Chains A and B, each alone.
Chain A
Amino acid sequence: MIALTNLAKSFQGLPVLAGVDLEVPKGSFTVLIGPSGCGKSTLLDVITGVCPRDAGELSWEGRPRQDLRDAAAYMQQNDLLLPWRSLLDNALLPAEVAGRDLPAARRKAGELLVRMGLAGFEGHRPHMVSGGMRQRCALVRTLMFERPIILLDEPFASLDAITRRRLHRLLLLLPTDFGRTILMITHDIEEALMLADQLLVASPSPMRVRGRWRLAQPKPRRPEDPELLRIRGEVLALLEDAEGGA
């Protein structure tokens, strides 16, 4: 389990995280939803040590940690693909850096790219494919970290609804496939309802966790499930209330 208690962070005296408490159970899919600019990316940056926190506790599997840099694979909001590498070679980067067996990694990355709908584009360089394709490649690269925790910052932001749904199905296979603990950020409430075991709603900046739901419905889920619709209403009410209060 990842546990954050009272995590705080300010930039130039301006608070962005104002005491964030949250728990991500091991093997669970937790989705954090919140208004734009509320500090979601900053939260993941702090968790991974990209920037240090000002205060608060962070622990993984019961042990306090400075950050989760070596335990987590972090897909940032920006795809950050290397322009001189093909999609396949970009996906291979973590395996290369970690010094893992390359032929095996190449097979795995190739297979993941195909499952992401990128068959035939493995040899293309990033500037030759669309933003959504780059994002999917960045997702494959994130999976290639082979770390127990996956942090995803709006991984499907530039995808059409159909591709998005296909990737949701794919992502749903991951926790059982890989035994992974996932914390994902999104703006999209439908997406959150389809994927989350635990759904968290963030307040506007400075950020706190304002609401939490456990979703036990088996996946894949039907959007018209009455229980999901009820939760959807509650989440929307909280988000709108939050915006009104800002």
Chain B
Amino acid sequence: MRGPLATLAGLVLLAALAWELPVRLLGTPAYILPAPSRILGVALGRWDLLAPHAAVTLLEIVAGLALALGVAVPLALLMFARPAVERLLSPVLVASQAVPVFAVAPLLVVWFGYGLASKVVMAAVIIFFPLTVSLLQGYKSCAPAYRVLFRLMGAGFWATWRRLYWPWALPYFFGGLKVGVSVATIGAVIGEWVGAQQGLGFVMIQANARLRVDLVFAAILWLSAMGLALWGLVGWLERRVCAWRMPEVGGAE
């Protein structure tokens, strides 16, 4: 764990230097490309401005995640339990991914308004697909021999789901969730670009219009930090819930 983190920190530092030095030497104006030191300064210094907007965006993402979960979990289960439903829906699902999210954002604003709802739906639309697909794949990957065992025990579908399918699919579920939270920021921000009075996406649009490129970058930094934190949180949850998958260090095998 220490190794990759240290490597990442080193790379980030190196990239920042490779950015900072030319900007300083060439005297590039801050309204075109601000130096990393200045962006960091704004990101931390304008905490008072950014934090409330970040909270709004975070709320949109988390609510979007909850909505996506609320749809993906039952849907994946339905598609797994009823192959006819899967045959019917999977082409629709795949086709839906061909529709660019940007294209539907203005419509969502029309339907759900300029408030939170349209952004929550936007985030949910993005998260929902990887979640459903990975969960379904997890269910389907369950080894037939285990299903036979449960059949021999006389277990019905729900008993089997609780004790076999769900735990079996959990690692897949977390895989989908990780993808989901890392793309969820995109959904929320696009929603805010199209029309909003709050959120980091709103800050970016406003700052861009005023040539406050440093503030745009600062908002991006906050967004990335939020995405990373969510990703880390999901990873932490996964390690706790799926501990059985991770062989203990120095243990057998």
Q: Which of A76, A94, A98, A128 contacts B145 (CB 8 A)?
A: A76
In chain B, residues 117-167, which have Cβ atoms closer than 8 Å to a Cβ of chain A? 145-146, 148-155, 159, 163-164, 167
In chain A, residues 90-111, which have Cβ atoms closer than 8 Å to a Cβ of chain B? 93-94, 96-98
Q: How far is the CA of A4 from the CA of B253 in the complex (A)?
A: 43
Chain A, interface residues (CB within 8 Å), range: 20 to 34
Q: How far is the CA of A140 from the CA of B149 in the complex (A)?
A: 14
Is residue A80 contacting chain B, with contact meaning CB distance below 8 A? yes
Is residue B251 contacting chain A, with contact meaning CB distance below 8 A? yes
- 12 A-B interface contacts by CB (under 8 A): A48-B152, A69-B152, A80-B145, A82-B163, A83-B245, A84-B245, A93-B153, A97-B150, A97-B163, A125-B244, A128-B248, A145-B153
Known: A82-B167, A96-B163, A97-B159. A76 touches B154 (CB 8 A): no
Q: Which of B149, B154, B159, B248 contacts A70 (CB 8 A)?
A: B154
Name A's interface SS: loop
On chain A, the residues within 8 Å of B148 by CB distance are 50, 76
Q: How far is the CA of A76 from the CA of B242 in the complex (A)?
A: 26
On chain A, the residues within 8 Å of B159 by CB distance are 97
Q: How far is the CA of A208 from the CA of B185 in the complex (A)?
A: 65
On chain B, the residues within 8 Å of A96 by CB distance are 163
On chain B, the residues within 8 Å of A84 by CB distance are 167, 242, 244-245
On chain A, the residues within 8 Å of B249 by CB distance are none
CB distance from A93 to the nearest CB of B (A): 7
Q: Which of A83, A98, A127 contacts B154 (CB 8 A)?
A: A98
Flag if B153 contacts A80 (CB, 8 Å). Answer: no
Chain B, interface residues (CB within 8 Å), range: 20 to 34
Known: A96-B163, A98-B153. A127 touches B145 (CB 8 A): no
Is residue A78 contacting chain B, with contact meaning CB distance below 8 A? yes
Binding site for B on A (CB under 8 A): 48, 50, 69-70, 73-74, 76, 78, 80, 82-84, 93-94, 96-98, 125, 127-129, 145
Q: How far is the CA of A127 from the CA of B253 in the complex (A)?
A: 8
Is residue B252 contacting chain A, with contact meaning CB distance below 8 A? yes
Is residue B247 contacting chain A, with contact meaning CB distance below 8 A? yes
On chain B, the residues within 8 Å of A76 by CB distance are 145, 148-149
CB distance from B202 to the nearest CB of A (A): 44
Q: How far is the CA of A83 from the CA of B248 in the complex (A)?
A: 14
On chain A, the residues within 8 Å of B145 by CB distance are 76, 78, 80
Q: How far is the CA of A128 from the CA of B245 in the complex (A)?
A: 11
On chain B, the residues within 8 Å of A78 by CB distance are 145
On chain A, the residues within 8 Å of B247 by CB distance are 127
Q: Which of A80, A98, A128 contacts B149 (CB 8 A)?
A: A80
Flag if B244 contacts A94 (CB, 8 Å). Answer: no
CB distance from A209 to the nearest CB of B (A): 24
Please name the residue on chain B nearest to A138 by beta carbon. B149
On chain B, the residues within 8 Å of A127 by CB distance are 244, 247, 252-253
Q: How far is the CA of A182 from the CA of B229 in the complex (A)?
A: 57
Q: How far is the CA of A80 from the CA of B151 in the complex (A)?
A: 13
Known: A84-B245, A94-B153. 17 other contacts (CB 8 A): A50-B148, A50-B151, A73-B152, A76-B148, A76-B149, A78-B145, A80-B149, A82-B146, A82-B163, A93-B163, A97-B153, A97-B159, A127-B244, A127-B252, A128-B248, A128-B252, A129-B252
